[in-house]
Structure formats: C-alpha cells, structure tokens
Chains A and B, each alone.
Chain A
C-alpha cells in the first residue's frame, strides 16, 4: 500500500511576538518560529497506524513551501515516514487555496500510484479547511473529512470515525480515498532516536513547478482568485461588566443579546 501525507510548515501561533505582522498586514514569517501544522501531525500518525497494520506500506510526505520546509520532511521521516519531498518554487508564491490544492494535486499525480491521502483538516495559519477537499475533487477521489480515529483498514477499504458537531459517524470507503484529520485524533508519536541518527545526513528531495507539469496559469498569484483586501488587528478586550440577577427572564434576554451580537 502507498500512502501520501500532506503537511504544512506553519508559523507557531502559540508563540507570536510583537513583530509578527508587517505594517501592510501581511505575515512577517521571518519573525515567527515554525512548527509542523498540528492537525497534519495527526494525519501523519493516522498514516503510520495504517502502515503498522498493513505490511509493505510506504508513507510519502509532501509539503509545499520555502526550502526550509524540508524540516517538515525530516521530522516526518524521524517519526516513521519513508520518504517525501518539498514542493518549492517562486512560481507558487501567493497561492490561495485553489492554487495550492491544484499544485498539490499535481504533486500527488507526479508521485505515482497511491491508495490513501491523509491531510490535516486545516492549517493554524489560514484556518480554511479547503485544501484537503479541493485536492480530493481535483484528483476525483471520495473524501472523508473530520476523521478522529482509524477503525480498520484493508487493501480494499478503510473505516473511519468522524467527529461531527452533534456526535460521531463511522463511515467506510473503498480505496483510494482522501482523509482529512481533526485535532480530536490521536497525537503523533515522537521521533525515534535511531531514525534521528540514521537520517541526519540524508538529503531531502526538492521538486519545482516544472517537475509536476502544471498549467502555469493556475499557479501562484495568477491562479488565485482570492485577494486579501485588508487585514485588521483585532484586540479583544472586555469593555464593561453587566450584573444580572439569575432569573429566567434575565437569562433569556442575555442569550438573545449574545446571539444578536454573533457571540454565540
């Protein structure tokens, strides 16, 4: 079995400093430490669990980003992935979700046959949750979103438990299929000490736009219909306190206000 995992290197939003934003509202990436997008790590873990159950399975990790995104591939390899590559090219710069999903779909096509694609539900920098489903559409694959647990897997099908707003749903899909994994899924295993030593000097493959034979008009800014008009810095602060006597009417009134103000 061959599994593709899509992963993204993202700014570590838990450690955002004062100079995280440029004056023009774009992200000052140089000032931010980077991390493996948390839900992508969970996707990797799910892939590795499939690998543990299915002999002769290889896990390939693909990431799109600047050359330093190779850290993601190294990290994934140390945790148990077999190989991977960075899709890196200035011609990808400025991609929105549409252009990103196109580039990644092309990268998956260029990587050969596969049975499963795992990716995180969304990245903590964009929070769109669009890239996974868009890739599934472009590759003509069925998709299972919001996966929180791998129930079972065989050469033919996979059973996944989905975490939905109102409860859980267990679904079965024939392979190949794309799965997006949520934060409710199990944490990724740690890197393995022996793999750290073994792969320390192994280079990471970098592929550019030419390698994935794209329609260049669909890449980068040119292929991105989304335009960011303006980014505002929102500071949340409590303005005043309201003291309510705990009566039925007061509570109803408060709920109405909260709903009207789109707080809940």
Chain B
C-alpha cells in the first residue's frame, strides 16, 4: 500500500500548473543547481523530487503509521520519571520517518533540509493524518522550524535547525490555565539572567501538544508590569537544558497517541527569538497561520480516511441481497463525503500555493491570510461530518470498537477546537468580509474560468456560482444594515463566512474540473450547497 500513489488527487495538486512557479521561487531561480548535489536544475526536476519523496512518505505512512494507528490509540503515551514516553508505535513511526530523512522537509539545504515548499508540507501532513491524526500532530509541529528559520538569529538557527532534521521533536507552548483563546493573558514569566546571559522561564503551560518535545517555542511575559499582548516575547527552550517538569498528561477523547501535557517551568534557560514584545503580535500570529493550515491538512487526511473506510465497507456489506453501496441513501452519504474531501483539499492547496508565493508577493500573502481561516474552519467541520457519516454508513457495526471509524470520530473532534476554534476562525474572517477582500478574490476566480471551454454542466455551475455570489452580497447588505460593528452582523458572521467558503470552494473545484472532469461532481455538490446555505442564512435572518 502507498497513501500517495493510491490517491490521484495528491499527484493532481503536485502537478498543478502553478507548481512550476512555486518550485522556481523556492529554488531562487535554481541558483544552487550544480553547487549542491541535491539541488534541482529546473522546475521539472524539482517536481520530480517532490514526487519521489512523496512516494517514499506514502509507502512509510501506509506500511508503518497506518499499521500502528490502532495500537497507538489503545496504548497512548505515559509518564516515566517526569518524562513523556510515547506509545511503542509512535516511537517506531518517528524512528522510521527520521531514518528515512523525511524530517525537516521545508528546511533550507544548509540545515540539512529538502528545501521543499509549503505545498509539500501540507501534502505530507494530510497523507500522514489519513493514517493517524495523533501522529500527524507530532509530525506537524516540526513547522516550529519555519518560525526559527524566519525570525531567529543566525546563531540560534545554526544551533537548533540541524537538530530538527535529526528528528528533534517540537512543541509550541502558548496555552495556560487562564490563557486559551485569549493569549494576551499569558502570564508565564521570562526574566533576563545577566550572569548566565540567557532568559529564565517560570510558570505553567497547559494543554501543550507534544509537551515534552526536545525543542519548545514558548510564549512568555518578558515585560514586567505589562498586561496585554505587547508585553509578550517568544523564546526557544531546549529540553536538554533542564528546568522543565511534566506535571501530567491529559486523558483525551481522541488523538490519543499525541501527548497533551501540563508543564511547569522552573528557572528554565531560554533564548529570545527575534525581538522583544513581538512574541504574540508577530511571531505567534505567523506560526498560527501555518499551524491552522496544518490542522486543515490533518482534517483533510481524516476526511479521506473516513471516506475510504465508508466506501470499502459499503462495497462489502450485503443487505437485501445487494452491497449497500447500491442503495441511493448510502450513495448520497458517500457522494457528500467525497465532495467535502475534494472541496476542502482544493481550498487547502490553493492556500498553500499562495503561502509559497507570499515570499515575493504581498498580494499573495494577503489572500493567503484570508483563506487560511476558511481552510481551518471548513476542513475541520467537514472532517467531523465525514467521521459522523462514516459511522452512519457502517450502521450498528460503526458503533462498535472493532472498526476504525470510531477512532476517526474521536480524532476528528479536536480539529474544530485546537489552533483556534471554528468560532475564532469566523472572527479571523470578519476583516476580509468587511473590507471586501473575499469578494475581490471571487471575482478573480471568476475571471480565471476558461469560459469558452466549459461543458453545459460546467456552464450551469458557473451560473450558479455567480448567483451564489449575488446572494452573498444581498446577505451582507442585510447583515450590515446597522453597520459592521452591530450585533446583527456578529450573529450572521458565521453564515456569511460559510457562504463565502462554499462559493470559493465551488469556484476552485470548477477550475480543477477544467483540468480533470473527475472533480465536476464534487463541484456540483458544493455549488448547490453554496446556494442552499445563503438561502438558509437569509431565512434565518428574517
């Protein structure tokens, strides 16, 4: 089995026409070609490299990570002498990934990375999450390296980045007992120690995913007397330097392989990342966007897993003398699951491509910023719906512990909570709604459609998407009748966000269907939902 080669959508997005430009940007016009034995000479070679590494990752994911998932879910991690010990399967997953050189995919070559773009990071993420979302969280936290790469001093980069490639695990330590969604309230104290020439961390962090990692990025209050986000700075802490105790690990509903820890820092030595006071307002915000895209990739992996479990079961389960996939009610469930997976995936790769282009393009960066909360919101909600439907297809068997679908159901639940709840994603989207950025982007998608080459069905879908955009405008007018700060607007912000998200996904799938007709059915499903959601929102508002 291979979770990359058995999923044609992955190759479809890996070979998206824009990947040529993304490879060129990532490789800085192929400046290292001939100077480094692994550097590609052109976009074609770069994309071949992406493909070959994904094949390897897909094989390991299917053979090792997926095979371990059930046992990891049962065993979970535990604490031994104040340290977290991963489940045996998790240890094997990590070891195999590290030994295959897959850690540090997006790191630059000078830090032993593969210098791959963000698109490949999310592709790896969704592939691994299809096997085990819990392991995908541990894997995904290596994105902390990107924050270090982007903002830390050269000295810190030289010291820590090569260790990521060697498999040092990471965590981002933000949440505290009184600072969850409200990170401005972080209290963990950072004071500068003149003698040791480092910072000292004191305080408690809670709900820290992979909390006993080797390298921690810690948000802490460095400015004494400050009370808001402007008094927070970002620090890197090395577990090997001591000063950290794992007080407990949480007993969770899902992603049980991923340890969620409560940490006590006592005079823990740490180093400042970037500048003081920018911890929350700049660095965490940047990391948060990457993390939200990462959760999107986990959710899409789960969507895919749930769809496949349901599809396989429906093909083999016989009732009334037929496999149940011959019954329309079951076909409808499967079609919805397929469409959600395709739609969220298309939106995620579009966003990841924009993130990759952000390095040289301000407009791309702005669009990536407004699409990221939509990816997190829709993919995580879809993953929950797919997990629910997966159990539904299984019927009574789905309620039993024997089938993977009950694990998927539990694992999905956190996806619409961590790295910002669905409600907070709506808050993040409000600015783009109020300033018309989403509408502008929709107009751009509309112009990208090659109108002369549409089939009748695609033509009809385009008309419906235009209609949905008009419905959105009407909805927006009505919701902002009392101004965009009024409670009426707040009440309707989620509905507005979802109508936008459905419309954007509809356009993206229409564009995808112009390259491959396979996506036209999912486009149909999502586009009709866009219209349905706006009608529903209007009715609810009246």
Q: Which residues of A contact B (CB under 8 A)?
A: 189-198, 200
Given known contacts A198-B37, A198-B38, A193 and B56 CB-to-CB distance under 8 angstroms: yes
Q: Are B56 and A191 in contact (CB under 8 A)?
A: yes
User: Given the complex, which residues of A lie within 8 Å of B59, measured CB to CB?
Assistant: 190
Q: Are A193 and B53 in contact (CB under 8 A)?
A: yes
- Quote the shortest CB–CB distance from A218 to chain B (angstroms): 40
- Quote the shortest CB–CB distance from A154 to chain B (angstroms): 25
User: Given the complex, which residues of A lie within 8 Å of B37, measured CB to CB?
Assistant: 197-198
Interface string of B65-104 (1 = CB under 8 A from A): 0000000000000000000000000000000100111100
User: Given the complex, which residues of A lie within 8 Å of B48, measured CB to CB?
Assistant: 200
- Measured between alpha carbons, how far is A189 from B102 in the docked complex, in Å? 13
- Measured between alpha carbons, how far is A224 from B60 in the docked complex, in Å? 41
Closest to B40 in A: A197
Partner of B114, one of A189, A190, A191, A197: A197
Q: Are B60 and A197 in contact (CB under 8 A)?
A: no
User: Given the complex, which residues of A lie within 8 Å of B105, measured CB to CB?
Assistant: 193
> Can you name 19 extra interface pairs (CB under 8 A) apart from A197-B114, A198-B38, A200-B52?
A189-B99, A189-B100, A190-B59, A190-B100, A191-B100, A192-B99, A193-B101, A193-B105, A194-B38, A194-B101, A194-B112, A194-B114, A196-B49, A196-B52, A197-B37, A198-B37, A200-B45, A200-B48, A200-B49
Chain B residues within 8 Å of chain A by Cβ, number: 18
- Measured between alpha carbons, how far is A196 from B57 in the docked complex, in Å? 12
Q: Are B53 and A196 in contact (CB under 8 A)?
A: yes
Q: Are A197 and B52 in contact (CB under 8 A)?
A: yes
- Quote the shortest CB–CB distance from B4 to chain A (angstroms): 13
- Measured between alpha carbons, how far is A189 from B97 in the docked complex, in Å? 11
Partner of A190, one of B38, B45, B60: B60
Could you list 23 A-B pairs, sorted by A, with CB under 8 Å? A189-B99, A189-B100, A190-B59, A190-B60, A190-B99, A190-B100, A191-B56, A192-B99, A192-B100, A192-B101, A193-B53, A193-B56, A193-B105, A194-B38, A194-B101, A195-B101, A196-B52, A197-B37, A197-B38, A197-B53, A197-B114, A200-B45, A200-B52
Given known contacts A198-B37, A198-B38, A193 and B114 CB-to-CB distance under 8 angstroms: yes
Given known contacts A190-B56, A190-B59, A191-B56, A197 and B100 CB-to-CB distance under 8 angstroms: no
Interface string of B192-222 (1 = CB under 8 A from A): 0000000000000000000000000000000
User: Given the complex, which residues of B lie within 8 Å of A198, measured CB to CB?
Assistant: 37-38
- Quote the shortest CB–CB distance from A189 to chain B (angstroms): 6
Q: Are A193 and B102 in contact (CB under 8 A)?
A: yes
Closest to B105 in A: A193
- Quote the shortest CB–CB distance from A194 to chain B (angstroms): 5
- Measured between alpha carbons, how far is A197 from B99 in the docked complex, in Å? 15
- Quote the shortest CB–CB distance from A41 to chain B (angstroms): 13
Q: Are A196 and B56 in contact (CB under 8 A)?
A: yes
User: Given the complex, which residues of B lie within 8 Å of A193, measured CB to CB?
Assistant: 53, 56, 100-102, 105, 114
Closest to B38 in A: A197
Interface string of B12-38 (1 = CB under 8 A from A): 000000000000000000000000011
- Quote the shortest CB–CB distance from A150 to chain B (angstroms): 18
The 7 closest A-B pairs by CB, nearest first: A193-B101, A197-B38, A192-B101, A190-B100, A194-B101, A198-B37, A196-B52
Closest to A195 in B: B101
- Measured between alpha carbons, how far is A196 from B53 in the docked complex, in Å? 7
Q: Is the interface of A mostly helix, strand, loop or mixed?
A: helix
Interface string of B129-158 (1 = CB under 8 A from A): 000000000000000000000000000000
User: Given the complex, which residues of B lie within 8 Å of A197, measured CB to CB?
Assistant: 37-38, 49, 52-53, 114
- Measured between alpha carbons, how far is A79 from B82 in the docked complex, in Å? 37
- Quote the shortest CB–CB distance from B307 to chain A (angstroms): 24
- Quote the shortest CB–CB distance from B115 to chain A (angstroms): 10
Closest to A193 in B: B101
Closest to A190 in B: B100
User: Given the complex, which residues of A lie within 8 Å of B56, measured CB to CB?
Assistant: 190-191, 193, 196
User: Given the complex, which residues of A lie within 8 Å of B38, measured CB to CB?
Assistant: 194, 197-198
Closest to A187 in B: B63
- Quote the shortest CB–CB distance from B416 to chain A (angstroms): 33
- Measured between alpha carbons, how far is A191 from B53 in the docked complex, in Å? 10
- Quote the shortest CB–CB distance from A38 to chain B (angstroms): 14
Closest to A196 in B: B52
Closest to B64 in A: A190
- Measured between alpha carbons, how far is A134 from B101 in the docked complex, in Å? 38
- Measured between alpha carbons, how far is A193 from B115 in the docked complex, in Å? 12
- Quote the shortest CB–CB distance from A79 to chain B (angstroms): 10
- Measured between alpha carbons, how far is A226 from B535 in the docked complex, in Å? 79
- Measured between alpha carbons, how far is A189 from B95 in the docked complex, in Å? 11
- Measured between alpha carbons, how far is A189 from B105 in the docked complex, in Å? 19
- Measured between alpha carbons, how far is A223 from B222 in the docked complex, in Å? 82
- Quote the shortest CB–CB distance from A33 to chain B (angstroms): 12
User: Given the complex, which residues of A lie within 8 Å of B60, measured CB to CB?
Assistant: 190
Closest to A189 in B: B99
- Measured between alpha carbons, how far is A78 from B99 in the docked complex, in Å? 12
User: Given the complex, which residues of B lie within 8 Å of A190, measured CB to CB?
Assistant: 56, 59-60, 96, 99-100
- Measured between alpha carbons, how far is A192 from B114 in the docked complex, in Å? 11
- Quote the shortest CB–CB distance from A160 to chain B (angstroms): 24
- Quote the shortest CB–CB distance from B271 to chain A (angstroms): 28
Interface string of B398-424 (1 = CB under 8 A from A): 000000000000000000000000000
- Measured between alpha carbons, how far is A192 from B56 in the docked complex, in Å? 8
Closest to A201 in B: B45
- Quote the shortest CB–CB distance from B36 to chain A (angstroms): 9
Closest to A197 in B: B38
User: Given the complex, which residues of B lie within 8 Å of A189, measured CB to CB?
Assistant: 99-100
Interface string of B103-136 (1 = CB under 8 A from A): 0010000001010000000000000000000000
- Measured between alpha carbons, how far is A189 from B92 in the docked complex, in Å? 12
- Measured between alpha carbons, how far is A209 from B52 in the docked complex, in Å? 33
- Measured between alpha carbons, how far is A194 from B37 in the docked complex, in Å? 10
- Measured between alpha carbons, how far is A193 from B49 in the docked complex, in Å? 9
- Measured between alpha carbons, how far is A193 from B102 in the docked complex, in Å? 6
Which interface residue of A190, A192, A195, A197 has the most chain B CB atoms within 10 A? A197
User: Given the complex, which residues of A lie within 8 Å of B52, measured CB to CB?
Assistant: 196-197, 200
Closest to B112 in A: A194
- Quote the shortest CB–CB distance from A190 to chain B (angstroms): 4
- Measured between alpha carbons, how far is A221 from B345 in the docked complex, in Å? 56
- Measured between alpha carbons, how far is A22 from B56 in the docked complex, in Å? 33
- Measured between alpha carbons, how far is A13 from B45 in the docked complex, in Å? 33
- Measured between alpha carbons, how far is A195 from B100 in the docked complex, in Å? 9
Which interface residue of A192, A193, A195, A200 has the most chain B CB atoms within 10 A? A193
- Measured between alpha carbons, how far is A197 from B59 in the docked complex, in Å? 17
Closest to B100 in A: A190
Closest to B37 in A: A198
User: Given the complex, which residues of B lie within 8 Å of A192, measured CB to CB?
Assistant: 99-101
- Quote the shortest CB–CB distance from A49 to chain B (angstroms): 13
- Measured between alpha carbons, how far is A221 from B527 in the docked complex, in Å? 66
User: Given the complex, which residues of A lie within 8 Å of B101, measured CB to CB?
Assistant: 192-195
Closest to B46 in A: A197
- Measured between alpha carbons, how far is A90 from B53 in the docked complex, in Å? 35
- Quote the shortest CB–CB distance from B449 to chain A (angstroms): 37
Q: Among residues 301 to 344 in chain B, which have CB atoms less than 8 Å away from a CB atom of chain A?
A: none
- Measured between alpha carbons, how far is A192 from B49 in the docked complex, in Å? 13
- Quote the shortest CB–CB distance from A159 to chain B (angstroms): 25
